[in-house]
Amino acid sequence: MSTHLVWFRADLRLHDNFALAAACRDPDAQVLALFIATPEQWKAHHMAPRQAAYIVAQVNALRQALAEKNIPLIFHEAADFAASVEIVKTVCQQHEVTQLFYNYQYEFNERQRDAAVERVLTDTVCQGFDDSVILPPGAVMTGNHEMYKVFTPYKNAWLRRLKEHMPECVRAPESRNTSAVTDAATIHFQYPQQPFDPALFPADEKAAIGQLRRFCQEGAGEYEAQRDFPSIEGTSRLSACLAVGVLSPRQCLYRLLAEQPEALNGGAGSVWLNELIWREFYRHLMTYFPRLCKHRPFIDWTDRVRWQEPSEALIAWQEGRTGYPIVDAAMRQLNATGWMHNRLRMIVASFLVKDLLIDWRQGEQYFMSQLVDGCLAANNGGWQWAASTGTDAAPYFRIFNPTTQGERFDKSGAFIRQWLPELAEVPERAIHQPWVWAEKQKVEINYPRPIVDHAEARVATLAAYEAAKKHGM
């Protein structure tokens, strides 16, 4: 009898899992599953304690779901990716594994790890799959067979390719005809953890599928109109599920089209589909430009920008004490929940980089240390977009005004009041500049004045970018 091993990583689900489905195709094969925690590697990558707790919950839910299919999950903990290579080799030897199945991860360190595994498994066939994307890297290229560097032509080519051939969406495996798997002990990680809110983030695969279904039925059609307003529950909140693989992007695509059939043609649901395409774009870019995994900007000259030292201003930004209410409310939402509304991610990133002139990598790292949906490709892509250092980024002279952004996207201050209770008595008309109101009324509010003057900061930032660009030419 052949023995198949499925190595789970960021794909913690039974449904539409290419590696799992392939391992289970032979009805006579014994199928085993493996998950390896790598706490030192996670620490180096600044994984958020909430994301660690989220992964623990999903791994334990997956263990139970696999047991119901008579597939045992083997759990190991290794310091880092290098140590995990030896564990995979040992497990394969102990269980006489004939074939190893896994889904590709596109980050540089993960690709190096997988290459090392293939080198040491001389007696085991390794099979990898493009599972975390709808279209695999290389499927959407320019006429010169190069990776697109601008989103809109990429999106148009992506849609054309998708319409030519819709990807397969595979079923969860049937129960194996082997002896029943006894329920194993609950899995724990030796990594700092912070509780996540299961009311905000689905705690298992069934809950994630239910949330996807509800959003596509009730929210996707209104997404374009509601997505920019943080006081409205107008987004899917499925990013954490996609980040750790509790849902596949193909499940999102098929459920969206089932509920919003015109999404592929620019109709209802197309703007949420756009978000899935942005996700693909950043993953494909990371595959072709691995320097994005190495703290490097996509645009070389931007590495010459002279950033301010990350002193008290960085701490004030992290803690939500900048004196700009929309920025502070967003950062407090992040710190309290491990998640931030997408419009707010753009606002706070612009503020850190272009008002405080602090290196975007400081913000990228802090986000990863807090986000339950932390994903290197998406986080790096978003920060480089905001900092004007990435491919298809906002031009460096586009600088959000944090006050007008707040007035535009939280006009009444409903979101601000939710996270800044110290501004509860400030009237609606003054909520975005509470210090002005406080001075006129001669009242004290427990809220700081702005730590930077936006108009002055804009001038300084433009000068810093223009000097870097001139020096780089």
For the stretch 177-231, pLDDT in tens is 887 777 678 999 999 999 999 999 999 999 999 999 999 999 999 999 999 999 9
pLDDT per position as a tens digit, 246-301? 999 999 999 999 999 999 999 999 999 999 999 999 999 999 999 999 999 999 99
User: Per-residue pLDDT averaged across 115-142, rounded?
Assistant: 97
The reply, when asked if residue 239 is annotated as ligand binding, is: yes
Q: pTM for this structure?
A: 0.96
Report the C-alpha gap between 217 and 210 in whole angstroms: 11
Which residue is catalytic, options 278, 317, 339, 385?
278
The reply, when asked if residue 25 is annotated as ligand binding, is: no
Which residue is catalytic, options 42, 339, 360, 437?
360
339 belongs to the catalytic site: no
pLDDT per position as a tens digit, 436-462? 999 999 999 999 999 999 999 999 999
User: Per-residue pLDDT averaged across 336-348, rounded?
Assistant: 97
Residues 6+ apart with CB under 8 A from 325: 406, 413, 416, 420, 423, 431, 432, 434, 447
Amino acid letter, 275: E
Sign of CA dihedral 338, 344, 347, 351: negative
Question: Does residue 315 carry a pLDDT above 70?
Answer: yes
User: Per-residue pLDDT averaged across 151-163, rounded?
Assistant: 97
Question: Does residue 470 carry a pLDDT above 90?
Answer: no
> Where does the pLDDT of residue 1 fall: very low under 50, low under 70, confident under 90, or very high at 90 and above?
confident
Question: Does residue 89 carry a pLDDT above 70?
Answer: yes
- CB-based contact 416:422 (threshold 8 Å): no
User: Per-residue pLDDT averaged across 43-51, rounded?
Assistant: 98
435 belongs to the catalytic site: no
227: which DSSP letter? T
The reply, when asked if residue 277 is annotated as ligand binding, is: yes
SS3 content of the chain, % helix, strand, coil (to 5): 50, 5, 40
Give the other-Cβ count within 10 Å of 224's Cβ. 15
Report the C-alpha gap between 244 and 372 in whole angstroms: 9
Give the other-Cβ count within 10 Å of 15's Cβ. 21
User: Per-residue pLDDT averaged across 93-102, rounded?
Assistant: 97
Average the pLDDT over each of 89-98, 172-181, 214-223, 322-331 and give the range with the smallest value: 172-181
Rounded alpha-carbon distances, angstroms, from residue 274 to 156, 169, 303, 308, 320:
11, 20, 29, 35, 30
Amino acid letter, 150: V
Question: Does residue 473 carry a pLDDT above 70?
Answer: no
Radius of gyration over alpha carbons of the chain, in Å?
Answer: 24
Amino acid letter, 428: E
317 belongs to the catalytic site: no
The reply, when asked if residue 32 is annotated as ligand binding, is: no
- Name the region of 145 (left: φ>0; alpha: ψ -120 to 50; beta: rest): left
Which residue, 357, 315, 318, is CA-closest to 458?
357
The reply, when asked if residue 351 is annotated as ligand binding, is: no
